[in-house]
């Protein structure tokens, strides 16, 4: 209940808002578009916000990135360091490395910005990967959303390249070691590899002084602009096609149930952004990432154990480690070893992922438009393939940490490699088969994997007797044919009044479920 | 709002806090226990000083003197016979384990002060741990083996004296000679055939210098022809600085580089954000 004074204030505020908005509308004509936009409905499910985590991480990456670019110097020319970090004093290094050291130690808020940038990048890629999984396992890529699947995959690919180019910019020992590996992988491409590598680096490794300028332009302009453009298209298409949603009460292929963009969804989304900023800068301030002063300036003669790429490139590093030492020669030409795990494997992986909407269409003979999502269990085969692929990537990623795992668990390096080599075949197959079985089991039991299965609804019939309507009972009441009881009447005489109670159950659902302290599995009312 | 919804609304933030706490404790657990490091640092740091106390210097400059006091040597022999002889043989001539007739004080002090010896099983790779002997006992055993080696005419490597040196020189030498196996952060790594590369972050300057000179296998030893005394001191000073200058930028996540970083980003970063999304997302 509001007082008179409160109501009068609110009226005044509304009048002021109206005036300001009118002024804007007179000049830009935005109100018509805004009225539509503000009423746009977004479905309420937490998993639909993961893409936003990626988007907001990208926003933080741009903000922190601009700050870093103010102090980074993309130059390969050699300077002698004299600064506050004693162990590097008097050492020769590239200007690029020196500028990042100065950024870390001499620029106000430089280190926290650099660390936040790096953490945001790691979280950005993690959120993209999770978002990709959500879209895959729920079948959200199906017609009409194939285009956005392809754009999303391209975003992932460019984000990985963007991340790697950023990892390479400081010219520390890790950067240089990573570039050394990538240079060799590019070199291994048959026929053109050497030309491509020499063109990019401006000569033999470690390249000429033009290299860091190029890398900087790629990281600072080329890839971010591609990402921005693709993100715009991704969101534009999403806006046009409208959001998918899980099936549930009142949800059809042709409607969307959820919150309006303004004010509910905007507040939710804004809140999420605040949390992301808090966690990214919290990590940036409290947890060290990529201490380039420890790695030292890059020199081809140096090396470090535990040299790994950032996590999202780990599966490719792992593939290089697991690939057997086979050599292939044909027509007097050798196809260099790194080509297979470094170029062919990601090539095949991304081709399959790009082609997945088409493969899925054939697999399930389904060319219909879908706005309602599958639950993962609804398509056991797709889910099994997806989980198998995740285990494959996990196996390769673990392989990129073999030296650390060997150190921590005291397992022989060779044994570990061998286990993971077999694991890259066995783990996906086993995981896929188990997933397939679990999906079928869940379908058979109609149970939720995490939540407690519906125990039943207690209803009271006309004669005053109590009955428990479990999932099975509810099912029976509506699926009489299966039990040979015939027709819609469902039951024989052994449980009089149950059918009537079953119909009532739908109406009682809201009250009955709460009272019994139970939740309907998957949002589906037990009574139908 | 119903009762169920209210309890769920509370359960969410509670789960968030619980997860954050759990993750933090995992992070804390991931770094080596301070108690152990403190113990080994204390014992080892003072060991060479103890050795020097009330003794006669019997070696050239650049090494720390070892006691030649007969009482100390006898005490060392007593300890040797009790704890070492079973494998290394009576009079250090070797039995199941190698002879110690030419190893010198540096090797003995290194093996004992880092807790590598005595070993439970001779097939094991000696790895650092809690020292079995206290600093006095170590000095006694060192004196005994030094006596045996000298009587044999092969004095071995003396305990290097670490002098103040340039951190920058140490940094360059470390990245050129050591980080390939020990990691640029000194956190250690892995070799082939199941050999572990130990972390250097608990080691004292003297232990680092000893290891460089002695080469505790499978690590190669670096003689004066490869690294001068000054260079050994520089490396020892730098490695000690690396582990004791604090992690600029915050908590170091075991100083193992991108793998634990990715772990934290996914589990702590994205994991918390998914929980947040779960809390925010399902509200109408």
Tens digit of each residue's pLDDT (9 = 90 or more) over A17-39: 889 888 888 898 888 888 888 99
Q: Is there a single domain that holds both residue B172 and residue B73?
A: yes
DSSP conformational letter for A372: B
ipTM, two decimals, is: 0.82
- The CATH number given to whatever domain includes residue B220 is 1.10.760.10
Q: Is there a single domain that holds both residue A278 and residue A238?
A: yes
- The CATH number given to whatever domain includes residue A134 is 1.20.810.10
Q: Cα distance from A157 to chain B (closest Cα, Å)?
A: 18
Domain that residue A112 falls in:
46-243+258-334
Q: What is the mean pLDDT of the segment spanning B121-150?
A: 93
Total domains present in chain A? 3
Q: For residue A168, is it within any domain?
A: yes
Q: Is there a single domain that holds both residue A136 and residue A217?
A: yes
Q: Is there a single domain that holds both residue B128 and residue B239?
A: yes
Q: Is there a single domain that holds both residue B24 and residue B123?
A: no
Q: For residue A528, is it within any domain?
A: no
Q: Is there a single domain that holds both residue A134 and residue A30?
A: no
Q: Quick check: B175 and A296 CB within 8 A?
A: yes
Q: Is there a single domain that holds both residue A83 and residue A8?
A: no
B28 and A CB contact within 8 Å: no
pLDDT given for residue A321 in this prediction: 94
Q: Is there a single domain that holds both residue B235 and residue B258?
A: no
Best A53, A315, A407, A411 member to test B by mutation, with max B CBs in 10 Å, is A407
Q: Is there a single domain that holds both residue B144 and residue B256?
A: no
pLDDT band at B20 (very low <50, low <70, confident <90, very high): low
Q: For residue A396, is it within any domain?
A: no
Report the alpha-carbon distance of residue A106 to residue A84 in Å, rounded: 8
pLDDT given for residue B50 in this prediction: 37
Which chain A positions have a beta carbon within 8 Å of B180's beta carbon? Answer: 302-305
Q: Quick check: B168 and A50 CB within 8 A?
A: no
Domain that residue B265 falls in:
3-30+252-281
Most confident of A329-333, A518-522, B177-181: B177-181
Report chain B's mean pLDDT, rounded to a whole number. Answer: 83
Q: Is there a single domain that holds both residue A213 and residue A237?
A: yes
Report chain A's mean pLDDT, rounded to a whole number. Answer: 87
Q: Is there a single domain that holds both residue A28 and residue A108?
A: no
Q: Quick check: B257 and A514 CB within 8 A?
A: no
Q: For residue A392, is it within any domain?
A: no
pLDDT given for residue A410 in this prediction: 81
B192 and A CB contact within 8 Å: yes
Lowest mean pLDDT among A251-255, A408-412, A473-477: A473-477
Q: Cα distance from B51 to chain A (closest Cα, Å)?
A: 31
Q: Is there a single domain that holds both residue B9 and residue B95?
A: no
Residues in A 248-287 with any Cβ partner in B closer than 8 A? 258-259, 264, 268, 271-272, 275-276, 279-280, 283, 285-287
pLDDT band at A249 (very low <50, low <70, confident <90, very high): confident
The proportion of chain B whose per-residue pLDDT surpasses 90, expressed as a percent, equals 63
Which chain B positions have a beta carbon within 8 Å of A283's beta carbon? Answer: 264-265, 268-269
Is the pLDDT score of A394 beyond 90? yes
Q: What is the mean pLDDT of the segment spanning A153-182?
A: 96
- Render pLDDT for B181-240 as a digit per residue (tens, 0 to 9): 999 999 998 888 888 999 999 999 999 999 999 999 889 999 999 999 999 999 999 999
Q: Quick check: A288 and B257 CB within 8 A?
A: no
pLDDT band at A400 (very low <50, low <70, confident <90, very high): very high
pLDDT given for residue B44 in this prediction: 38
Is the pLDDT score of A189 beyond 50? yes
Report the alpha-carbon distance of residue B213 to residue B235 in Å, rounded: 12
The proportion of chain A whose per-residue pLDDT surpasses 90, expressed as a percent, equals 67
Nearest to B140 by CA among B180, B81, B209, B214: B81
B276 and A CB contact within 8 Å: yes
Q: Quick check: B256 and A306 CB within 8 A?
A: yes
Q: Is there a single domain that holds both residue A28 and residue A143?
A: no
Q: For residue A364, is it within any domain?
A: no
Nearest to B182 by CA among B157, B151, B153, B216: B216
pLDDT given for residue A358 in this prediction: 96
Q: What is the mean pLDDT of the segment spanning A497-505?
A: 41
B177 and A CB contact within 8 Å: no
Q: What is the mean pLDDT of the segment spanning A368-375?
A: 93
B253 and A CB contact within 8 Å: yes
Q: Is there a single domain that holds both residue A165 and residue A286?
A: yes
pLDDT higher for B10 or B58?
B10
Is the pLDDT score of A474 beyond 50? no
- Render pLDDT for B87-119 as a digit per residue (tens, 0 to 9): 999 999 989 999 999 999 999 999 999 999 999
């Amino acid at each position: 209940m509001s007082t008179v004074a409160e109501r009068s204030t609110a009226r005044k505020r509304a009048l002021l808002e109206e005036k300001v908005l009118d002024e804007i509308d007179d000049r830009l004509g935005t109100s018509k578009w805004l009225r539509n936009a503000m009423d746009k409905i977004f479905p309420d499910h937490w998993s639909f916000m993961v893409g936003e985590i990626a988007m907001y991480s990208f926003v933080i990456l741009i903000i922190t990135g601009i700050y870093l670019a103010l102090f980074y110097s993309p130059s390969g020319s050699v300077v002698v360091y004299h600064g506050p970090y004693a162990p590097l004093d008097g050492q020769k290094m590239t200007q690029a490395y020196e500028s990042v050291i100065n950024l870390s130690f001499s620029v106000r808020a430089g280190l926290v910005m650099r660390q936040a940038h790096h953490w945001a990048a790691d979280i950005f890629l993690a959120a993209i990967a999770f978002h990709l999984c959500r879209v895959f396992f729920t079948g959200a890529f199906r017609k009409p959303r194939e285009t956005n699947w392809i754009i999303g995959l391209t975003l992932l690919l460019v984000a990985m390249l963007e991340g790697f180019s950023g990892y390479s910019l400081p010219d520390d020992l890790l950067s240089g070691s990573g570039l050394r590996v990538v240079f060799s992988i590019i070199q291994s491409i048959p026929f053109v590899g050497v030309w491509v590598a020499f063109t990019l680096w401006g000569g033999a490794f470690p390249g000429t002084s033009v290299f860091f300028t190029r890398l900087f332009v790629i990281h600072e302009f080329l890839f971010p602009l591609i990402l921005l453009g693709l993100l715009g298209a991704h969101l534009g298409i999403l806006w046009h096609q409208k959001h998918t949603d899980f099936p549930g009460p009142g949800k059809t292929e042709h409607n969307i149930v959820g919150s309006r963009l303004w004010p509910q969804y905007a507040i939710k989304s804004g809140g999420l952004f605040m949390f992301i900023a808090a966690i990214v800068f919290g990590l940036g301030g409290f947890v060290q990432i990529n201490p380039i002063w420890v790695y030292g300036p890059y020199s081809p003669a140096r090396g470090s154990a535990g040299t790994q790429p950032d996590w999202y490139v780990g599966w490719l590093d792992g593939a290089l480690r697991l690939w057997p030492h086979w050599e292939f020669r044909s027509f007097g030409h050798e196809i260099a070893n790194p080509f297979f795990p470094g170029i062919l494997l990601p090539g095949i992986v991304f081709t399959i992922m790009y082609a997945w909407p088409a493969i899925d269409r054939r697999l399930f003979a389904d060319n219909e438009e879908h706005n309602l999502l599958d639950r993962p269990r609804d398509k056991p085969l797709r889910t099994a393939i997806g989980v198998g692929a995740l285990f494959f990537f996990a196996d390769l990623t673990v392989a990129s940490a073999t030296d650390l795992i060997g150190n921590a668990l005291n397992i022989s390096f060779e044994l570990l490699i061998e286990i993971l080599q077999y694991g890259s075949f066995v783990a996906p197959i086993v995981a896929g088969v188990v997933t397939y079985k679990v999906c079928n089991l869940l379908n058979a039991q109609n149970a939720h994997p995490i939540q407690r299965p519906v125990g039943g609804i207690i209803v009271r019939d006309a004669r005053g007797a109590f009955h428990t309507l479990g999932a099975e009972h509810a099912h029976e009441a509506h699926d009489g044919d299966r039990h040979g009881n015939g027709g819609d009447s469902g039951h024989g005489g052994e449980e009089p009044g149950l059918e009537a109670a079953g119909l009532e159950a739908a109406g009682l659902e809201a009250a009955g479920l709460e009272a019994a302290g139970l939740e309907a599995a998957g949002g589906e009312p037990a009574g139908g | 709002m119903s009762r169920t919804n209210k309890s769920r609304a509370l359960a969410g933030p509670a789960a968030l806090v619980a997860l954050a706490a759990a993750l933090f404790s995992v992070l804390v657990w991931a770094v080596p226990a301070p108690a152990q490091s403190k113990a080994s640092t204390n014992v080892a740091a003072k060991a060479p000083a103890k050795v020097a106390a009330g003794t006669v210097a019997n070696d050239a400059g650049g090494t720390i003197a070892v006691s030649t006091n007969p009482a100390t040597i006898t005490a060392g022999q007593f300890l040797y016979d009790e704890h070492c002889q079973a494998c290394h043989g009576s009079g250090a001539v070797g039995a199941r384990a190698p002879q110690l007739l030419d190893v010198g004080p540096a090797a003995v002090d290194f093996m004992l002060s880092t807790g590598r010896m005595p070993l439970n099983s001779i097939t094991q790779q000696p790895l650092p741990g809690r020292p079995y002997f206290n600093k006095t006992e170590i000095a006694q055993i060192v004196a005994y083996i030094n006596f045996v080696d000298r009587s044999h005419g092969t004095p071995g490597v003396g305990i290097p004296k670490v002098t103040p040196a340039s951190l920058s020189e140490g940094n360059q030498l470390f990245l050129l000679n050591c980080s390939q196996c020990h990691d640029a952060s000194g956190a250690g790594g892995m070799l082939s055939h199941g050999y572990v590369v130990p972390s250097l972050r608990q080691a004292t300057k003297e232990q680092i210098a000893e290891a460089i000179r002695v080469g505790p296998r499978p690590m190669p030893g670096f003689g004066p022809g490869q690294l001068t005394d000054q260079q050994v001191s520089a490396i020892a000073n730098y490695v000690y600085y690396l582990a004791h200058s604090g992690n600029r930028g915050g908590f170091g996540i075991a100083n193992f580089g991108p793998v634990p970083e990715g772990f934290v980003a996914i589990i702590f970063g994205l994991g918390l954000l998914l929980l947040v999304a779960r809390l925010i997302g399902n509200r109408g």
